Amino acid sequence: MKLDQIQIHTTDAKVDLHISDPVQHIEQPRAQQHIEQPAATLEIHSEAAKLFVDSSQAYRDLGLLTPKESSEQYAQKGKQKVMEGIARRASEGDQMMNISKNSGNAIQQIAASKAIPSPPQMAITWKPSVGAVKIHYQAGSLDINIQQHKPKIDVQLGKVVHDYTPGDITGDLVQRPSVETTVIKAK
């Protein structure tokens, strides 16, 4: 036995779409920046140190005298030698005057004292003497003053420019959908 057949015929819908893309534009202008750095102020005040060295005593110890000191020293030594000479001659005169009391050899004693000089005195001396050079130091001073100046920074930001156009879709139905059925009888 044969059965009837159903034949189905479909037609799809056809749509015509018109699509416009969205448009976006973003722009960021550069920031404007101005920086200024004022110079720092530096002030330095100083007072020089002083060193005083007095070596006049050391020079005197070595026999190096100023003309005035030399004249005074030689005058003093000359006066002392004159006084020693006067005392020696007075002593010799006294010995000669008392020649009868001194067993008559006063002339021999005077001659012997002049013929044989006394030995020089030997001693160790430091030239110049310790502490002859006097040193005095006066410290100086140093004052440093720094004034800093902060930088001046000015920034102006550029605003963002944003332009957006949204996209759009429009559609037209070009062909309607349909379904057709046909029955084919069996023979």
CA distances to 24, 28, 29, 39, 155 from 162, in Å: 7, 9, 11, 42, 22
Percent of the chain with pLDDT over 90: 40
Helices (H), 19-105: 56-61, 67-97
Pair 14, 178: CB distance under 8 Å: no
% of the chain with per-residue pLDDT over 70: 96
Can you tell me the distance from the alpha carbon of 176 to that of 14, in angstroms, rounded to the nearest whole number?
7
Rg (CA), the chain: 67
Question: pLDDT tens, 161-187?
Answer: 999 999 999 988 888 889 898 888 877
Q: Which residues contact 6 (CB under 8 A, 6 or more apart)?
A: 181, 182, 183, 184
What pTM does this model have? 0.36
Note the residue count of the chain. Answer: 187
What digits encode the pLDDT tens for the residues 39-55?
999 999 999 999 999 88
Does the pLDDT value for residue 102 go beyond 70? no
Residue 53 in contact with residue 135, Cβ under 8 Å? yes
DSSP classification of residue 2: -
Tell me the three state secondary structure of residue 29.
Answer: coil
Q: What is the DSSP string of 100-116?
A: TTTTT-HHHHHHHHHHS
Tell me which DSSP letter residue 133 carries: S
